[in-house]
Amino acid sequence: MTVRVRIAPSPTGLLHVGNARAALFNWLFARHTGGTFILRIDDTDLARSENEYEEDVLTGLGWLGLDWDEGVGVGGPYGTYRQSDRLDRYAEVAGLLLAAGDAYYCFCTPSELDERRKEAQAQGRPPGYDGRCRLLGDAEAGRRQEQGEAAVIRLAVPRPGVTTFDDIVRDEVRFDHDAIDDFVLVRSDGSPTYHLASTVDDVDYQITHVARGEDLLSSTPKHILITGAMGGSVPTYAHLPLLFGPDGKKLSKRHGDVSLKAYRDGGFLPEAMFNYMCLLGWSYEAETTVFTREQAIERFDLSAVSKNAAIFDPEKLEWMNGVYIRALDPADFIDRAFPLVEDELGRELSGAEREQVVALGPLVQERVKLLTEVPEMMTFLFEGALSYDETSWRKVMETETTPSALDAAIDRLTAVGEWVAADIEAELRAMLDELELNARKGLQPIRVATTGSTVSPPLFETLEVLGREVTLHRLRAARAKL
């Protein structure tokens, strides 16, 4: 049997990291087994589905390198893989289930249902649908239907009964049918519910394994019942543990960004995100947290996914991002830095400026955890009139010893023979000795005067890249401003 798995996002919002993790696990499983990874778009909720969100899904998966073999955008034997294009098929299946007696029309109005639900609750009975219209009989149902009375179609859940399945992650799961009401397949406006559309697609697309979030666990017996009524073969299910924040509560906006886009835009490398997300419910090896895509593919197994909640910890992710940034080939890092610096400056870099970025690149690469930190560590190179970070200025420049330190630095740096970091350092250290200043008192003013802030790449190398002329010009400008 060839594995066929799918990810089925609804384009009603930005791709959530939880869904991205589900996509990753499905992709890894497909790549490990030589199977097929399918992207389906669940856009039956036309009012809330937006093109922009579908785009976000495609871009997000592409960014993570999760290529799909069939589905939206790439095609395949089953049409467009968009549910909105398959409404006829869902209606057809509903018709077949009606004809076979596995489904029935229900004419109960929302207010009647509401009233009966309240009554049931007051009497301590389960609040689900009570099955009233199941007893109507075909003749009566047909008559009311023809008269144009609004109706939904419900599945006739076999009673008594039990649905069990062997979940790859959770082992045997059991649902008594007493706990499943006759749920809706088709709404009164003719639109299919998620349960119907998703199940019909899983059957038609011959999905072999459904790996999705544990929040859908209680939907699974419904899907198995529909599959059975359709005469389809039931896929193997794997319910992935939900994501929690570091405080042990279910991951939500309270914890910070939950969309993949926020991380795409936030200076994270897709390689780091990929690696980190692998660890959300799975582990490569107890002691190994950093590994390549190929290693993950080689080892990944759905049956090794843990039942325990997975903690999504942005701090750990940031740490891992730093590891990945430092491991980049310096040329690769610089290629990624160019556009970020140009974006920040709002113009293209000249050839000479690009050389400065190349020269400073390795020093910055060692110091950032996010690519978004790169521009602030580089753009000071290219500012005509340097803007100073206010706090840095107050803390460092308004100190008694700063004027004499700047004066001495200007004299000594004017006299440096060759403008290289080692000689610049020798001169400035001699200045510290002469004025009996420690590095903080003597060198920080030079840093703020030349880079605008106390946070910058190492000073002597930075001055070398900045060049003698600009360095002296900036030191004098800062001295004059004191």
Active site amino acids: 253
Handedness of CA 299, 302, 306, 308 (dihedral sign): positive
Compare residues 91 and 216 and give the one whose CB is closer to ligand GLU: 216
Minimum CB–partner distance for residue 293 and ligand GLU (Å): 23
Give the interface with ligand GLU as residue ranges (CB under 6 A): 8-10, 42, 198, 212, 216
Minimum CB–partner distance for residue 81 and ligand GLU (Å): 13
Other C-beta atoms within 10 Å of 443: how many?
Answer: 21
Please identify the residue of the shown chain whose CB is closest to the bound ligand GLU.
42
Compare residues 212 and 479 and give the one whose CB is closer to ligand GLU: 212
Compare residues 281 and 375 and give the one whose CB is closer to ligand GLU: 281
Compare residues 150 and 216 and give the one whose CB is closer to ligand GLU: 216
CA 164 vs. chain centroid, Å, equals 32
Compare residues 16 and 177 and give the one whose CB is closer to ligand GLU: 16
**Cα 80 to Cα 96: distance, rounded to the nearest angstrom:** 23
Minimum CB–partner distance for residue 300 and ligand GLU (Å): 19
Return the closest-CA partner of residue 180 out of 224, 213, 211, 136.
Answer: 224
Minimum CB–partner distance for residue 284 and ligand GLU (Å): 25
Per-residue buried b or exposed e for 248-281, using 16+ beta carbons within 10 Å of the residue's own CB: eeebeeebeebbbbebbebbbbbbbbbbbbbbbb
Minimum CB–partner distance for residue 7 and ligand GLU (Å): 7
Per-residue buried b or exposed e for 81-115, using 16+ beta carbons within 10 Å of the residue's own CB: bbbeebeebbbebbeebbeeebbbbbbbeeeebee
Return the closest-CA partner of residue 244 out of 14, 478, 471, 17.
Answer: 17
Contact 289, 223 (CB under 8 A): no
